[in-house]
Amino acid sequence: MSKFQNVKFNNVDEFIDYLPNNEREIVDFLRDIVFNSLPNPVEKLSYNVPYYYLNSRVCFIWPASVPWGKVKKNGVLLGFCNGNLLHDDIDWMEKGERKQVYTKTFTSVEEIETDIVKAYLFEAVEIDQRLKSLKGRTVH
């Protein structure tokens, strides 16, 4: 455990078992969308929540019951690690004061518009591929 969190999970199953039912339902639904939208993602715990990797971190799912410091949240966040690079013409993502990571908070499965989530995930995959191709290049 760290000074920022009072929980420590060894794997994703422990993480899911810890969640209250309402958050577990949302997390399960979002995980299903992620696994069906990203091509062979690697799911790995970071900060005690699942992050999804392709060439780099693409997104994460962060329920309110897994704390981070004194930050109080409600619902379950779907976060985009390079959210600042996504087109958000419908102003769907929550940006706050953050410069790179943008999120969307869900308090019920009914709020999740699968087609919109998938569209953002598909674009996040394209950005991940583009960033991979740019890695190591020098800009003149």
Distance CA 123, CA 129 (A): 10
User: Would residue 2 count as lying in a domain?
Assistant: no
Structure tokens at 66: 């897994």
User: Would residue 1 count as lying in a domain?
Assistant: no
pLDDT at residue 1 is higher than 50: no
User: Would residue 140 count as lying in a domain?
Assistant: no
Q: What is the DSSP string of 76-134?
A: EEEEETTGGGS--TT--SB-TT-SS-EEEEESSGGG--HHHHHHHHHHHHHHHHHHHHH
Give the total number of structural domains in the chain: 1
CATH (domain of 116): 3.90.1150.200
Q: 86: Cβ–Cβ under 8 A, 6 or more apart, which residues?
A: 80, 93, 102, 120, 123, 124, 127
User: Would residue 85 count as lying in a domain?
Assistant: yes
Query: 46: domain range?
Result: 12-133
Distance CA 102, CA 78 (A): 9
Q: Are 80 and 93 in contact (CB under 8 A)?
A: yes
User: Would residue 105 count as lying in a domain?
Assistant: yes
Q: What is the pTM of this model?
A: 0.88
User: Would residue 118 count as lying in a domain?
Assistant: yes
pLDDT for 4: 56
Which residue's entry shows tokens 């069906």? 36
pLDDT for 100: 94
User: Would residue 88 count as lying in a domain?
Assistant: yes
Q: Are 116 and 42 in contact (CB under 8 A)?
A: no
50-108 pLDDT per residue, tens: 999 999 999 999 999 987 655 567 899 999 999 999 999 999 999 988 899 999 999 99
User: Would residue 47 count as lying in a domain?
Assistant: yes
